[in-house]
Structure 1
Amino acid sequence: MRTRLTHRLLLTAAAAGLVAAGLVVQAPSRAEAAVPDTIPLTLTNNSGRGEAVYVYTLGTLLSTGQQGWADASGAFHPWPAGSVPPVPAPDASIPGPAAGQSKTIRIPKLSGRIYFSYGRKLDFRLATGGLVQPAVQNPSDPNHDILFNWSEYTLNDAGLWLNSTQVDMFSAPYAVGVQRADGSTVNTGHLKPGGYNGVFSALRAQSGGWGGLVQTRSDGTVLRALSPGHGVESGALPASVMDDYINRVWQKYATTTLTVTPFANQPNTKYFGRVSGGVMNFTNGSGAVVTSFQKPDADSVFGCHKLLDAPNDQVRGPISRTLCAGFNRSTLLVNPNQPDTSSAAFYQDPVTNHYARAIHDRMADGKAYAFAFDDVGNHESLVHDGSPRQAYLTLDPFS
């Protein structure tokens, strides 16, 4: 079940002393360990669409490590064994609310996803390694022509983490929320009026091949925009789309020092990057080289992996996530002190992650998970509470 976003949550939360959405968390005190085995999740269908909605709660049971699914009551069911080739998984769908209606189910202590689809059930398969999830960058995936989306969540003894995510694609709009222990409610993920169609229009209008990310069904229904990493992988976006910016960054830091302060709560922990021989070497305050990076390509930048791999450690991972955010937001040339956390400076270079720019511009609160380390500087669309009373997932209008 782990995605690059899940890995991002593991890494950044570990740096803060807790791990979210797919994660290991610091053991709570006895007084704090009051999170019940399941909590209510209210699904509200404000989509305005007439198709049937199907909902799935899938993930890893934190108490045992088993992969499986939960029914509407929150009861967990392990997946049966898979095979090669993959075989159909049991039908884990829960009938969702009709348009204009709400429905409350219960979600258990899982690290996983809440999927929802319109009009058709999703096609899940089981391989020998576990669940095969939809891969819409593959045109032959059985779910390619289904309109669907998902949220990621973790519920454990330390509370609930629930996000809206566009790390893999921008599709059916939704928002997430939580009612906190004090009774207040917070939410994130709502688009501005016109924002849903506005994202697709912005991508189509953007030169350089960004319109190739938009996928449309044969009946004319716009299904999604692939994330640029999947776009490069599938050939929908040119692999050279970030080369000019990457080259300028490497040129700049051959003669200038890039200072990275990866932990907001540790302002004295700094690393210093300089490019030499085509490699960016980072040194600590003593001048010792602590990690090095080859010049990345667009896929490494968009995916925050490969040449920008971010292991779950306290040095390379935190530096890498800072670089990843700086590349995607195009702040590395205008600020040699990173991370740059002021959104006013984001996406201003002509060569940037225009997918992330289009999404953030159209979010009501400006928050999104448009790439895996979009939480650098707290720009992510995530709600959390240590003792949640209620979770929410709202299916929003397609406008």
Structure 2
Amino acid sequence: MPHTLTRGALPLAAATTLLGGLLALGSPGRAHAAVPDTIPLTITNNSGRSEPVYVYDLGTQLSSGRQGWADADGVFHAWPAGGNPPTPAPDAAIPGPAAGQSKTIRIPKFSGRIYFSYGRKLDFRLTTGGLVQPAVQNPSDPNRDILFNWSEYTLNDAGLWLNSTQVDMFSAPYAVGVQRADGGTTTTGHLKSGGYSGFFAALRAQPGGWGNLVQTRSDGTVLRALSPLYGVETGALPANVMDDYVNRVWQKYTTSTLTVTPFADQPNTKYYGRVSGNVMNFTNSAGTVVTSFQKPDASSVFGCHKLLDAPNDTVRGPISRTLCAGFNRSTLLVNPNQPDATTADFYRDAVTNQYARAAHAQMADGKAYAFAFDDVGHQESLVHDGSPRQAYLTLDPLS
């Protein structure tokens, strides 16, 4: 199914951090210089590819809540009404830099995505509910044979959150950066030398269907690897791919207790999980059951949804995101105290999120957004500053 953007939800760069109680967007804090209505974004094309690049800045205008796109000057344009079937969206493409060149555009106060594509413009459509995002797990999606990727960002009065994401797919590599108010620059998202091909080689070498996540074009170009969530949904990965690990977790915590301390700044807020039948019940310090989880399937684990739904509250959501990270990283059997921030414990079990394991292994700084709550323990590829001077997007080689 296509992804339809129907409301102004924060992108992962902000939403998951907010959910974890680690950050309150727009809340009182240290004083910042006023964030201007737009900031410069410099896009550097180090891909080595000769095709033209097209850039899109799409999202929700925070001042009005309207969906639309921004042009190269950061001017907002609202989407027109869509239709059923979906109608073509206005051409929002911004010509990107040629190989070896840079181009600076301006990005407004938005919550959205910056797409880039090689060789062809992306095909965006509008429904009566909003913008239809590319959904290349669908064989009939018109963007399936286009090499593209996107970054997610929120720019508001509290600053900039900009990430590189692999939550939906691992594709054309790029890094993000921000110049802070003090003039220093923070970057993340660069792969190790040979990391792009190394990622795909690792997936293909992994038994159990993980290589089926890789999509190639008829000319042999490797386009992307789908996330394991889409792998399960499309049948590329078996639906029981995580069952053995989940069953072992359920067995362990039938006779022992899983302690979750979801907020790093609230060490005395703890919840205690014990399994009874197919249900893991969590109690607070007073012994009162505060939330319960059915035994999750692979879709729930990889998507951090369904049986591991994480509402934006102060109890179930933080517990769920901690469980999600523990299942994806396979740390729940080696450490009964979660979240486990010891990276040496991550992805060590034979049954784990092999996609996330490979993504982190190939990152120069080890940081990635390989599943929805990869920010648990600060493992996410995110840059942030409260008074950003400049943002950066660097298109890296596919090697």
Give your verdict on TM over 0.5.
yes
Q: 1:135 corresponds to which residue?
A: 135
The answer as to 2:340 corresponding to 1:335 is no
Report the counterpart of residue 167 of structure 1 in structure 2. Answer: 167
Contact 2:96 2:103 in 1 (8 A): yes
- Structure 1 residues 297 and 337: alpha-carbon distance in aligned structure 2, compared to 1, 3 A threshold: same
The amino acid that maps onto 1:159 is G
2:55 aligned residue: 55
With the length of structure 2 as denominator, give the TM-score of the two structures. Answer: 0.96
How far residue 277 of structure 1 moved from its aligned partner, in angstroms, is 2.2
Q: Say yes or no: does 1:44 pair with 2:6.
A: no
Aligned residues of 2:282 and 2:289 also touching (Cα < 8 A): yes
Secondary structure, in 3 states, of the residue corresponding to 2:285? coil
Report the secondary structure of 1:250's partner residue. Answer: helix
Match of 1:383 in 2: 383
Which whole-Å deviations, capped at 9, do the CAs of 1:362-389 have from their partners, x for residues lacking one?
Answer: 1000000000000000000000000000
Q: 1:161-240, aligned counterparts within 5 Å?
A: 161-240=161-240
Using the alignment, how far apart are the partners of 1:51 and 1:112 within structure 2? 25
Maintained 8 Å contact 1:40/1:104: yes
The one-letter code of the counterpart of 1:18 is L
Q: Distance in 2 between matches of 1:54 and 1:94?
A: 6
Matching residue of 1:303: 303
Structure 1 residues 55-105: Cα deviation after superposition (integer angstroms, max 9, x where no partner): 000000000000000000000000000010000000000000000000000
| Aligned-partner residue type, residue 156 of structure 2 | N
Q: Say whether the 8 Å CA contact 1:33–1:157 is kept in structure 2.
A: no
- 2:69 alignment counterpart: 69
3-state SS, counterpart of residue 142 of structure 1:
coil
- Give the superposition deviation at 1:15: 4.3
Decide whether aligned partners of structure 1 residues 17 and 58 sit closer, same or farther in structure 2, where only a CA change above 3 A counts: same
Indicate how the Cα distance of structure 1 residues 27 and 77 shifts in structure 2: closer, same or farther if over 3 A, else same: farther
Q: How much has 1:234 moved relative to structure 2?
A: 1.0
Taking the aligned partners of 2:35 and 2:20, their CA distance within structure 1 comes to 23
**Cα distance in 2, alignment partners of residues 255 and 6 from structure 1:** 39
Specify the code of the residue in structure 2 equivalent to 1:69. Answer: W
Gaps of 5+ in 2: none
The percentage of aligned residue pairs carrying the same residue is 81
Q: Residue in 2 aligned with 1:324?
A: 324
Aligned CA distance change for structure 1 residues 372 and 117 (closer, same or farther; 3 Å): same
Distance 1:103 1:236 in 2: 38
Give the structure 1 partner of residue 367 of structure 2.
Answer: 367
Q: Secondary structure at the match of 2:74?
A: coil
What is the letter of the counterpart of residue 117 of structure 2? S
Following the alignment from structure 1 to structure 2, what is the Cα–Cα distance between the partners of residues 50 and 173? 16
Q: What residue is the counterpart of 2:270 in the other structure?
A: 270
Q: CA deviation at 1:127?
A: 0.2
Aligned partners of 2:8 and 2:65 also within 8 Å? no
> May I ask how many residue pairs the two structures share in their alignment?
394
User: 1:253 aligns to what SS in structure 2?
Assistant: helix
Partner residue in 1 for 2:108:
108
Residue 243 of structure 1 and its aligned partner are, at CA, apart by 0.6
**In the alignment, residue 27 of structure 2 is paired with which amino acid?**
Q
Deviation, structure 1 residue 16: 3.1
Distance in 2 (alpha carbons) for counterparts of 1:260 and 1:377 = 13
Q: Is the 8 Å Cα contact of residues 22 and 264 (structure 2) preserved in structure 1?
A: no
Report Cα offsets for 1:206-250 as digits up to 9, x if no partner: 001000000001110000000000110111111111010000000
Alpha-carbon shift at residue 26 of structure 1 (Å): 1.6
Q: Residue 288 of structure 1 corresponds to which residue in structure 2?
A: 288
Q: Is the 8 A contact 1:5 1:373 kept in 2?
A: no
| In 2: Cα distance, 1:165 partner to 1:364 partner | 15
8 Å CA contact 1:17, 1:25 repeated in 2: no
Indicate conservation of the 8 Å contact 1:17/1:26, yes or no. no
CA-based RMSD:
1.5
**Structure 2 counterpart of 1:180, which letter?**
R
- Counterpart of 1:81, as a letter, is A
Whole-angstrom distance in 2 between the partners of 1:335 and 1:150: 35
2:259 match: 259
Q: Is 1:157 matched up with 2:157?
A: yes
The one-letter amino acid of 1:371's match is F
**Contact 2:11-2:111 within 8 A present in 1 as well:** no
Closer/same/farther in 2, CA of residues 123 and 162 from structure 1, 3 Å limit? same
Could you tell me the TM-score, scaled by structure 1's length? 0.96
Deviation at residue 3 of structure 1 after TM alignment: 10
Q: Quick one: structure 1 residues 140 and 360, their matched pair in 2 at CA, closer, same or farther if it must change by over 3 Å?
A: same
Aligned to 2:122: 122
Q: For 2:11, what is the secondary structure of its paired residue?
A: helix
4+ long deviations beyond 2 Å = 1-12, 14-19
| Equivalent position amino acid for 1:320 in 2 | S
Distance in 2 (CA, whole Å) between partners of 1:4 and 1:322 is 21
> Structure 1: which amino acid aligns with 2:147?
L
Pairwise CA distance, 1:7: 6.1
Q: What amino acid is aligned across from residue 212 of structure 1 in structure 2?
A: N
SS in 2 for 1:42: strand
2:164 partner amino acid: S
Per the TM alignment, residue 10 of structure 1 is displaced from its structure 2 partner at its CA by 2.3
Unaligned 5+ residue runs, structure 1? Answer: none
Q: How far apart, in 1, do the equivalents of 2:365 and 2:158 lie?
A: 26
Q: Partners of 2:65 and 2:364 in 1: how far apart?
A: 37
Cα shift readout 1:95-135 (whole Å, capped 9, x = no counterpart): 00000000000000000000000000000000000100000
Cα deviation, 1:252-306, whole Å, max 9, x if unaligned, reads 1000100000000000000000001221000000000000000000000000000
| Partner Cα distance (1:309, 1:266) in 2 | 22
Counterpart position of 1:83: 83
* DSSP 3-state at the match of 2:85: coil
1:14/1:239 CA distance change after superposition, 3 Å: closer
2:330 and 2:19 mapped to 1: Cα distance? Answer: 26
202-211 vs 233-242, greater mean Cα deviation: 233-242
